[in-house]
Amino acid sequence: MNPNRIIKSSLLCVSLAAAVMWLASGSASQSVKPAQIKPASYNAADYVGSEACKDCHEDQFKAYSHTSHAQLAKIGSWKGKVTGCESCHGPGKDHIAEGDPAKIISFKNKSSKETAETCLACHAGKEERNNFRRGEHWRNDIGCTDCHSPHSNTTGMNLASSNVHVTTANAEKPGFSSIRMLKMNDPQLCLSCHSEVKPAFSAPFHHKVLEGAMRCSDCHNPHGGFELKQARLATGGDAACIKCHADKQGPFTYEHAPVKTEGCTACHTPHGSANPRLLRFSAVNQLCLTCHSVAHDVGAVEPSGPQHNQNAQYANCTACHVKIHGSRSSPVFFR
């Protein structure tokens, strides 16, 4: 690895962090707000309520009635606001009176992105999805309804899920989701488009995603973000990894610089690897020497190379430099 990258990427971190703070200061106080999609000529009498749709669209009504969208009408702050079927489909009065499918907002001929605008009218304010329009999914025309089914596809449950660990209680059948109105469960959903990452999760060392012990969305925000690869790095550092590997975060008296500047992926392949500890190299010394190969001049930007030579005794660097993520007492990470 080119040592200059270390400097560049730490500069990048600083400027990204500044951008995040700037944006957060403008939007952090918002949350999901009552419908903002009233047409210019809003007339309360054009809205008939979801019950009026029930008889002719039983399937949609049944599925929808299990979602949190169906609960909104019962919440105080939504009183007098448009909720239910018409919060997405617009006023239903003329459609019902005339039985004309052209008299209701339909999404049939809309792109995913256009449909997503309807969802974002209510959902954009929440931190988790603030950056949807900055993410790779948006840039590639993937909208809400590519992952979520608008009416839910379930017979019942819309459980709150932990996104930290999948337990038997919230584990699902492959290809089926009962939570978050997802079309399929995570990871099946993600792998249906990202099949190229699947083999890594079967490598000799891997995070147990296919086994159901964790999800793609533990590390990625499917709703986009500033971070490279939409990784979840909420507070800088490596929030996604730290959530489960808190001991690697410190604070340490003696930090190993790349853990903080480049993050965990400077040394680890996150999905899976043929190398133990998910390391980027099969031999630890190869990994270290990608950065520590140069002599250290005072004032130089490169990290120091080891003064000791590279014979067998020194080959396994972490035999001596044990606390490789940082140490509270040893500047060379011995303990």
Site for ligand HEC in 41-100 (CB under 6 A): 48, 50, 52-53, 55-57, 60-61, 64, 67-69, 72, 84-89, 92, 95-96, 99
Instruction: Rule CB under 6 A: say whether 9 interacts with ligand HEC.
Output: no
Q: Which of 156, 167, 314, 329 binds ligand HEC (CB under 6 A)?
A: 314
Structure-token pair, residue 251: 């604070």
Give the phi and the psi of residue 182 in degrees, each rounded to 5: -75, 145
Other CB atoms closer than 10 Å to residue 252's CB: what's the count? 18
Q: Please list every residue from 200 through 239 that binds ligand HEC, using CB under 6 A.
A: 205, 207-209, 214, 216-220, 222-223, 228-231, 238
Q: Please list every residue from 269 through 298 that binds ligand HEC, using CB under 6 A.
A: 270-271, 276-279, 284-285, 287-292, 296
Q: Please list every residue from 140 through 199 that binds ligand HEC, using CB under 6 A.
A: 140, 142-148, 150-151, 158, 161, 163-164, 180-182, 186-187, 189-194, 197
What is the distance between the alpha carbons of residues 285 and 292, in angstroms, rounded to a whole number?
Answer: 10
What is the distance between the alpha carbons of residues 326 and 250, in angstroms, rounded to a whole number?
Answer: 7
Least distance in Å: CB of 25 to ligand HEC?
A: 21
Least distance in Å: CB of 228 to ligand HEC?
A: 6
Q: Please list every residue from 114 through 133 that binds ligand HEC, using CB under 6 A.
A: 115-116, 118-123, 126, 128-129, 132
Q: Give 287-295 contacts, CB < 8 A, sequence gap 24+.
A: 288/317, 290/1, 291/1, 291/3, 291/6, 291/258, 294/3
Which range in 7-15, 18-26, 166-174, 240-248 contacts ligand HEC by CB under 6 A? 240-248
Least distance in Å: CB of 68 to ligand HEC?
A: 4
What is the distance between the alpha carbons of residues 128 and 36, in angstroms, rounded to a whole number?
Answer: 19
Other CB atoms closer than 10 Å to residue 129's CB: what's the count? 20
What is the distance between the alpha carbons of residues 123 and 32, in angstroms, rounded to a whole number?
Answer: 6
Least distance in Å: CB of 7 to ligand HEC?
A: 9
Structure-token pair, residue 115: 């449909």
